Chains A and B, each alone.
Chain A
Amino acid sequence: MSRVYPDSRPRGLSPVMLSTFGKAHFSNARSGAPPLVDFSVWERTELYFAGEVGHPPGIGSLGFAGGPTGIITTPAGAATGSLVGGGVGWASGMIYCAKGAGPKFRGNQRQNKAANDAKRDAERETGKRMSADQEEKFHDLITKQGFDYGEMVKIAVAILSGEAY
């Protein structure tokens, strides 16, 4: 598998998802939209988002809607990749990322950020702020459950709404 990038690869951006077969599950958690991209035919795929990673498109703190801002795909044996514009556009993605929206997150840190973003999103949704007691409860409820972002938002909303106690 060769690393081939088109000349237009944005500088300063890091790929957030590398080579995969099968469908990528980036459907919007709220709308229930189907997966945006089927990678099954690609040997290598890289996605670039306009904001931080770790949460489904459309809910990010930077508010981009509709999915990745750009996708570079390199099919097996191809010499160059192709660029597919997303809902916001490639240029804006470069601007957002070049300015930096926080530390880079990998592995566990990405999961940590997803949980943190889930709490913040639930706060926005309910118009309430979590107390330390509620944050503790949130962590008690998600302990070792392996919840995804959408599930954690629901739990946080339930706590803030007094439905989980």
Chain B
Amino acid sequence: MDIRAEIRNAISSLNGKAAWGLVRTHGSMFFLEMGNPISRPSQIKPHGESHFLVELCHWRFEASESVLVGSEDDPTFIDATFDNLKLGYVQDAEILIPSHDLQIKFSSGIVFKTFTTSTEATDQWTQWQLFGPEEYVWISDGGGHLQRKKRDEPVRT
């Protein structure tokens, strides 16, 4: 199966899952958990059965009337907003071509969007990773490539 078709399937499989665990890690990078929390042997913290690690891309969460928080906001504001954001369930998740930007609508009415802003990003700069419920991870590189890797496989060759 074509990698884009494959990741579309993986992303659409998120529909109906509870979204939780919004946690900023460093800068504007963060985890977004979906589905039931699972403790895997390789993990030091429980994560959702599926979860995003959003890294080197811009993003925002918006409601119908306003932008709630974005990737260039102050980290303390991002943390405070994440602590209070109730997303609900994933209603519609899609990946846009050719940028591989994400657009995820939640039952709360909140929409999460990522967006590429440069043509100069390279494969060394991961936009986001989607950790699936099983052994696979889908990786969107800044260079416009999509990869599917096993969790224990090197992300870059």
Whether, in the assembled complex, B84 has its beta carbon less than 8 Å from a beta carbon of chain A, the answer is: no
Which residues in A have their C-beta under 8 angstroms from that of B137? 132
Contact assessment for B45 and A131 in the assembled complex, using a CB-CB cutoff below 8 Å: no
Whether, in the assembled complex, A107 has its beta carbon less than 8 Å from a beta carbon of chain B, the answer is: yes
Contact with B28, one of A102, A103, A111, A129 (Cβ below 8 angstroms):
A111
Query: Which of A67-75, A77-85, A133-141 is found at the contact surface with chain B?
Result: A133-141
Contact assessment for A130 and B120 in the assembled complex, using a CB-CB cutoff below 8 Å: no
Contact assessment for B24 and A129 in the assembled complex, using a CB-CB cutoff below 8 Å: no
Whether, in the assembled complex, A31 has its beta carbon less than 8 Å from a beta carbon of chain B, the answer is: no
- A17-28, CB under 8 A of B: which get 1 and which 0? 000000000000
Contact assessment for A140 and B153 in the assembled complex, using a CB-CB cutoff below 8 Å: no
Contact assessment for B139 and A141 in the assembled complex, using a CB-CB cutoff below 8 Å: no
A87–B139 alpha-carbon span in the complex (Å): 38
Closest residue of chain A to B151, judged by CB?
A133
Whether, in the assembled complex, A108 has its beta carbon less than 8 Å from a beta carbon of chain B, the answer is: yes
Closest residue of chain B to A123, judged by CB?
B156
Contact assessment for A142 and B71 in the assembled complex, using a CB-CB cutoff below 8 Å: no
Which residues in A have their C-beta under 8 angstroms from that of B26? 111-112, 114-115, 139, 142-143, 145-147, 152
A116–B92 alpha-carbon span in the complex (Å): 30
Which residues in A have their C-beta under 8 angstroms from that of B154? 129-131
Contact residues of B between 62 and 108, Cβ < 8 Å to A? 71-73, 75, 78-79
A112–B58 alpha-carbon span in the complex (Å): 11
- Expressed in whole angstroms, the minimum distance between the Cβ of A100 and any Cβ of chain B is 6
Contact assessment for B120 and A136 in the assembled complex, using a CB-CB cutoff below 8 Å: no
Contact with A132, one of B28, B45, B155 (Cβ below 8 angstroms):
B155
Contact residues of B between 110 and 142, Cβ < 8 Å to A? 117-118, 120-122, 124-126, 129, 131, 137, 139
- B27-60, CB under 8 A of A: which get 1 and which 0? 1110100000000001111010000010110100
- A82-113, CB under 8 A of B: which get 1 and which 0? 00000000000000000010110011111111
Could you list 6 A-B pairs, sorted by A, with CB under 8 Å?
A112-B26, A114-B26, A116-B56, A116-B126, A129-B157, A144-B24
Shortest beta-carbon contacts, A-B, top 8? A111-B27, A129-B154, A103-B118, A108-B28, A112-B27, A132-B137, A139-B25, A108-B27
Q: A102-B120, A139-B29 are in contact. List 9 more A-B contacts (CB 8 A).
A: A102-B122, A108-B78, A112-B56, A113-B56, A113-B125, A123-B156, A131-B150, A133-B152, A147-B26
